[in-house]
Chains A and B, each alone.
Chain A
Amino acid sequence: MLEDHAKIAALINQTGGISGRKKLQKAVYIFQRLGYPFEQIFHFHFNGPYSEELSIQLEELCDFGFLIEDREDHNEEEETCYYRISEAGQGFLTHYKNVLPTACRLTQQIMNQNALFLESVAILLYFDHLPRIKAVEKARTLNKETVGDNLEHALAFIDKIRLLQSIELSISQ
C-alpha cells in the first residue's frame, strides 16, 4: 500500500530535501540502475530517462501533505521546485521502515551532484547495454547541449558509484 510513494519520501528524507524535479528523476533512475527497489518505469525523453509515474507520485505525495514543495523563481521562465518532508510525511514514513536501504555514502555521492551532471550519468546508464564507445556516441548525438564535457567525468562517476555500491552491499550482508 503506497510502498512506491514511501520510497520516494524516504529518499527525500534521507537527503534532507531535493532541489528540482529533474534532479529527483535522474537520481531515482540512477538508484534503480544500481539495484535499489524503485519500481517506476522510465522512458527516454528529451533530457534522458524520465518517469511519468514518478512525476505523478511526487504530486500525490504533495497532495497528501507528506511533502512540502517550495517554488523558487530564477527568472521569468525558470523556476525550481524544492521538496522536503513535512511532519505528516515523517509520520507516514513511520509505517514504512526499511523501505529503502540506507546506503549513506552512496546516497550522499549521488545527491551531492547537480541535476545536469546526473542527467549525463543517467543517459550513459540508459545506454550501458552498448559498448562504452557506442554509448558515449549515442549520448553525444542525442544530448549535445548537456553532455558535452561531462561525459568523461560521468563515466568515472559511474565506476565510482558501482564500486561504492558493491562495498556497501558487502557491508550490509
Chain B
Amino acid sequence: MLARSFQKLNEEKVFKDPVHRYIHVRDRLIWDLIGTPEFQRLRRIRQLGTTFLTFHGAEHSRFGHSLGVYEIARRVIDIFKYRNHWDDSETMIALCAALLHDVGHGPFSHSFEKVFGTNHEEYTQKIILGDTEIHRLLEEQGEGFAGKVADVIGKTYPNRLVVSLISSQIDADRMDYLLRDAYFTGVSYGHFDMERIWRVMRTQDDQIVFKLSGMHAVEDYIMSRYQMYWQVYFHPVTRSAEVILTQILHRAKVLFHEGFRFKYAPFPLIKIFKGEMALKDYLKLDESVILYFFQAWQEEKDPILSDLCCRFMNRRLFKYVEFTPSLIESKDQLAGAFRDAGIDPDYYLEVDSSSNSPYDLYRPGEEGERQPIQLLMPDGTLHELSQESDVVGSITGMRRTDVKLYYPKDRVFELSEHASCREQIQKILGI
C-alpha cells in the first residue's frame, strides 16, 4: 500500500492564480500541508512587506507566493521526469520544500528580524522540525522525512539538484516572486518567458543548466530581476516605510524595558521583547496583529512611539538625501543639531543601504560561493552566462550600491523656535 504522502487525491484540486492561471494539487500531503494553521498563517503576511505603501497593489501574501513556487517546482519536475533527468524518489521532498520554503516568515520579517534578532529561515526549520501540524504530517510519511525537507530548504541536502530547484540563480522561488511582484505592483518590467526557460532547462551532474538556444530567455529573466530590484525592491519610499517600522518596533522594545505603561499593552510581543519567544508564540504573530498595535499606539503618551505610528499608518514617511562619505564627517554635528532641536536622532536619523535589503542581485560566482548560471553549448561544454551574453556581461560585476539618509523633513522645517538648528541641519543635509 502507498504511504499516505504518496496518496493521490481522488480528484485534482486547483487554486485559481493570477500568475500561473491554475495551481494543481494532486497529492494528499500537499493538500493537507496547505490546510495547516502554520501555512494558512501566510495569508496574513505580505510578500513585499511595506511595498504596498509605494505600489498600492502590492498587498499579495506569502501564501500565494508559496503556492506559486510549489507549482513551478511541480512543472519543472514533470519536464525533468519526461527527460529521465529526475530521481522520482525526490519528488515529494522537493515539492514539500518548495511549498514550505517561506513558512517561517514573520510579520514584516525584515524589520522584525533586525530589531529582535530573529531569523525566518531558522523559524522555517523549527516549524518543519518542531511541535507543529506541519511536522506531524511530514513525519507521517516516514521517519526523517521532515528532516530531508528542512535540509533542502536549508541548502544542506546532499542532492544539489533538488536544492537548485528551490534555491539557485534561476530557481522556482525567484521565478515566482519576480512575476508575482510585477503583476501585483503593476509595473511593466519584471516579465520574462518562464515557459521558454523551462523548455531549455537541462540537468548536468548535480546542477541545472540552460541550452545556449535559450540564452535570450535567460537574459530577459536577468534583466527583469535587475529592473525589479532597482525599481521595486530598493524603492526609496518603501525603504523609508521600512525605516519607520523598524524604529517603531525598536521604540516599543525600549519602552517595554524601561517599564513604560502602555495604554495598549503589546501582550503578543512581550516574549519577544524579553528574548524568549517560543515557536507557538511566534506562530501567533502576523501583520494584522502588528498593524493593530500600530493603529492603537498612535494614542500612546510616548511622543516618539505615537508619532512614528502616525507616520506609518498615515504614510507620512521620512524623506531622504543621498548618503555620502562627507556626511560621516558631520554625523556627530548632525545628531547634535537634531538633539538640540528636540528630535531624537536615534529614531529620526537613519542610514539605509541596499545591503539592508533581503534581495540579491545576479553576480557570477563569488569565488565559488554561488553557482553561476551555466549555458550548455552545442559541444556539451558549459559556459558561464556573462561570458556569452553581452547584455548580462554589461551588468555583471557592475557595482551599484545605494545608501540614503532618512530624516523627517516636515519636523525639520517646522523648527521655527530652533532656527539655528534648522539652518545647521539644512546646511549639512544640503536641503
Contacts and interface: CB of A to CB of B under 8 A. Distances in A.
B156 A65 contact: no
B363 to A, nearest CB: 8
Interface string A146-172: 000000000000000000000000000
Contacts of B368: 22, 46-47
Given A43-B121, A56-B353, A138-B156, A2 B367 contact: no
A5 B351 CA distance: 11
Given A60-B403, A62-B399, A55 B366 contact: yes
A53 to B, nearest CB: 5
Interface in B233-281: none
A22 B367 CA distance: 7
B328 A41 contact: no
A57 interface: yes
A46 B369 contact: yes
Nearest to A92: B328
Interface in B319-347: 325, 328-329, 331-332
Which label, helix, strand, loop or mixed, suits the secondary structure of the A interface? helix
Contacts of B154: 44
A25 B351 contact: no
Interface residues of A, number: 35
A95 B399 contact: no
A72 interface: no
Given A22-B367, A22-B369, A142-B156, A88 B325 contact: yes
Nearest to A2: B351
A73 interface: no
A96 to B, nearest CB: 9
Contacts of A92: 325, 328
A62 B329 CA distance: 17
Given A45-B155, A62-B399, A57 B355 contact: yes
Given A56-B355, A59-B399, A60-B353, A46 B371 contact: yes
Nearest to B350: A1
Interface string B133-161: 00000000000000000000011101000
B374 interface: no
A45 B369 contact: yes
Contacts of A56: 353-355, 401
B175 interface: no
A20 interface: yes
A95 B371 CA distance: 38
B170 to A, nearest CB: 16
Interface centre among B113, B355, B356, B403 (most CB of A within 10 A): B355
A68 to B, nearest CB: 14
29 contacts: A44-B155, A44-B156, A45-B155, A46-B368, A46-B371, A47-B367, A47-B368, A50-B366, A50-B369, A53-B355, A53-B356, A55-B366, A56-B401, A60-B353, A60-B354, A60-B355, A60-B401, A60-B403, A62-B399, A64-B325, A64-B403, A66-B325, A80-B367, A91-B329, A95-B328, A95-B331, A95-B332, A141-B158, A142-B158
